[in-house]
Amino acid sequence: MIYIFIAAVVVYLARTLFMFVGAGKIRRKSIGQGEFEPSVCVLVPARNEEETIEQCLISLASSNYPKEKFEIIAIDDRSSDNTLSIMQKVAAKFDNIKVLSIKDEQQKQNLRGKAGALHFGAEVAKGEILLMTDADCIVNPEWIRTIAKNYEDEHIGLVASFTLVDGKRLFDIIQSVEWIYMNTMASAGVALNIPLGCYGNNLSVRRKVYEEIGGYKKIPFSVTEDLSLLKTVHNYGHSLHYVTDINGTVTTRPCKTFTEYISQHRRWAMGGLTLGWKAVVFVLSSLLMWIGIVASLFTANYIFAILLLLLRFMGDFSIIFPSAIKLKQNKLLKYIIPSILFFLIIELIIPFTLFSKKVHWKGQIFKG
């Protein structure tokens, strides 16, 4: 039992130290000046988003960035509701919003789903920098400026940033904490040159880099197209950056139901499997922790079980807390500990959802 306990402690401490050091390093890293203002195109793919697309486009059009230097391309991806007509209504009010509509499903394997919509927009984009967000997001007025200035460093090929979650229910707040937790871990990987993830609702890429890699037309299809883009840009030798700044955030809506939440995490988990050995190491670190806790309880070594739980809570808290403070999310601090308890339970559920390779997303079915 003592060996299991020691192994669990050592592995989890190593994981926590990796995340803590990496996230701290990138939080302190500042790139570019506010005076750097490249031309920008914001891509907004939308499929059946009639409830949110108007707010999203208005928030983008209201950005504090020279109007002549940014365009917004909203791509309707075969919606069956009023998404397209709402897009067109908003576009009529703003000169820099362009609406595209995909009428037929993209035939090529790599261009299915969201990746196909993004590539459809990227092909007509004029900006030096391609920013991407989702139709259910509201952007910070300083978002474009905060992200774009990082490209003053010519070595930077891709920049990601944090997503916040709007909502007042306890379930919404837990998701808010989780998004900060996941983005922090993703930022740590970028800082230490071991990309682990990013989120497509707050992502950007230099246009010439996107063209160099062949865009999504050349990137193998994945249910997590954002991670695929991140890995490809990194593999081509370009530098990455992850912004931890309230001005660089976008705000999304939480999952409304537990079923929707599990479906979302199942899709993320299936995409994460493409990380190979990195995914294995991450899963093993959590698995060892659970083996240690369960073994301690079965052998009546309750002190060991308590110590392992304390290690988990303290480790995850140390990762979430600094980012929450940096992003001025002090209201979430008292919810970190109960949220970690919720994450522990979810860790046990998600693996059992991965037996089927089919992923349901936006009324479509993909194979992971």
Name the one residue in this structure whose structure tokens are 């110590």. Answer: 307
CA distance 216 to 229: 8
Which one is predicted more confidently, 6 or 153? Answer: 153
pLDDT for 361 equals: 52
pLDDT for 358 equals: 56
Residue 125, both tokens: 């984009």
pLDDT of 367 higher than 70: no
pLDDT for 297 equals: 80
pLDDT of 93 higher than 80: yes
Average pLDDT, integer, range 196-207: 95
Question: From the CB of residue 349, how many other CB atoms can be counted at a distance below 10 Å?
Answer: 12
What is the value of pTM for the model shown?
0.91
Residue 218, both tokens: 């050349």
Helix (H) or strand (E) holding 44: strand 40-46
pLDDT for 1 equals: 67
Give the burial string for 19-40 (b: 16+ CB within 10 Å, else e). Answer: bbebbbebbeeebbeeeebbbb
pLDDT of 366 higher than 80: no
Cα–Cα separations (whole angstroms), residue 133 to 57, 65, 144, 205, 342: 10, 17, 11, 12, 28
Indicate the range of 30-39, 228-237, 332-341 predicted with least confidence: 30-39
DSSP letters for 151-163:
GGSTTEEEEEE-E
Indicate the range of 8-22, 199-213, 245-259 predicted with least confidence: 8-22
Cα–Cα separations (whole angstroms), residue 335 to 111, 174, 175: 40, 7, 10
Tens digits of residue pLDDT in 95-139: 999 999 988 765 455 566 788 999 999 999 999 999 999 999 999
With bands split at pLDDT 50, 70 and 90, how would you rate the model's confidence at 33?
A: confident
Residue 129, both tokens: 């920098």
CA distance 87 to 286: 44
